[in-house]
Amino acid sequence: MPTNRESTAAGYDATAEAYAARYAGELDHKPLDRALLRAFAHEAGATSDPSTLMVADVGCGPGHIARFLSRQGLPVCCVDLSPAMCAIARRLNPGAHVHQASMDAIPVPDAAWSGIVAFYALCHVAGSELPVVLREFARVLRPEGMVLVAFHAGDEVRHADELLGVPVDLDFHFHTTSKVAELLDDAGFEVTAVMERVAYQPWEVATRRAYIQARKRE
């Protein structure tokens, strides 16, 4: 049997082109997401040394979040487990460095980045594995570095045997907002904003969406 990591990468390799065609423009239909990303970009740019400023889109998929941040004036890089998704992210973000890697073992030095955005990447992280991933986020961020995560709010796990008409073997983990905030605090972050919203219909699956912004303590 493949490990969860292997099945996740295989699922997104198989669906990468269809996923990009469906979701690369999804921010057009998500005004709150755009507003939060713009606010994140403004704050990251205002509080970082311009000569070393770098923000990462972790769990980037086709790289559309990175592209949006780049259009706000931020230097960006990408991280994704799926080689096929990484290839698309390179197409959408010419010149950006794209790391094919897991979120719990990001191949950059300590304190390499000014900020991390992880939109719905945590849905493929079990609750028991969240502390390791969030500590890795803290490791690669500079003091005062920012993180913005978006995830499905709740406490269930949904399994998918099919995605966009393609057979897959994917688990989608929901997380309670209070628990993610607590784990960010444990990992060395100060939580600065928390919010939830309902799904944007018909563009999204009908789940509650949570957002947490936090800053790494000095």
Beta pairing class for 113-119 and 55-58: parallel
pLDDT tens, position by position, 97-151: 999 999 999 999 999 999 999 999 999 999 999 999 999 999 999 999 999 999 9
Supply the pLDDT for residue 2: 39
Tokens, residue 88: 């698309």
8 Å CB contact between 54 and 114 = yes
* Residue 3 reports pLDDT greater than 60: no
Longest dimension (CA), the chain: 47
Tokens, residue 129: 């594995």
8 Å CB contact between 80 and 59 = yes
Q: Which domains does the chain have, with CATH numbers?
A: 4-201 (3.40.50.150)
* Residue among 70, 174, 148 nearest 78 (CA): 70
pLDDT tens, position by position, 50-105: 889 999 999 999 999 999 999 999 999 999 999 999 999 999 999 999 999 999 99
The three-class DSSP label of residue 160 is: strand
CA distance 15 to 28: 21
pTM for the structure as a whole: 0.96
Phi, psi of 188 (to 5 degrees): 110, 20
